[in-house]
Amino acid sequence: MRRMSQPDPFVLPEDDNAAEAIAAIADDFSVLDDWEERFRHIIDLGRKLPPYPDEWADDAHRVPGCQSKVWMRPTLRDGRLYFAGASDAAIVAGLVALLLRVYSGRAPSEIAATDPGFLKDLGLIEALSTNRGNGIAAMARKIREAAAQAAAG
Handedness of CA 127, 129, 137, 139 (dihedral sign): negative
State the number of CA atoms in the 13 A half-sphere of 76 facing the CB: 13
Q: Strand pairing partners for 72?
A: 85
Helix/strand number for the chain, H first, E second: 7, 2
Measured in whole angstroms, the distance separating CA 13 from the mean position of its chain's CA atoms is: 11
Catalytic residue, candidates 18, 25, 66, 70: 66
Distance, CA of 116 to CA of 136 (rounded, Å): 9
Residues with Cβ within 8 Å of 53's Cβ and at least 6 positions away in sequence, in order, are 6, 9, 84
Concerning whether 44 is annotated as a catalytic residue, the answer is no
Q: If DSSP codes are grouped into helix, strand and coil, which group holds residue 115?
A: coil
Annotated catalytic sites, by residue? Answer: 66
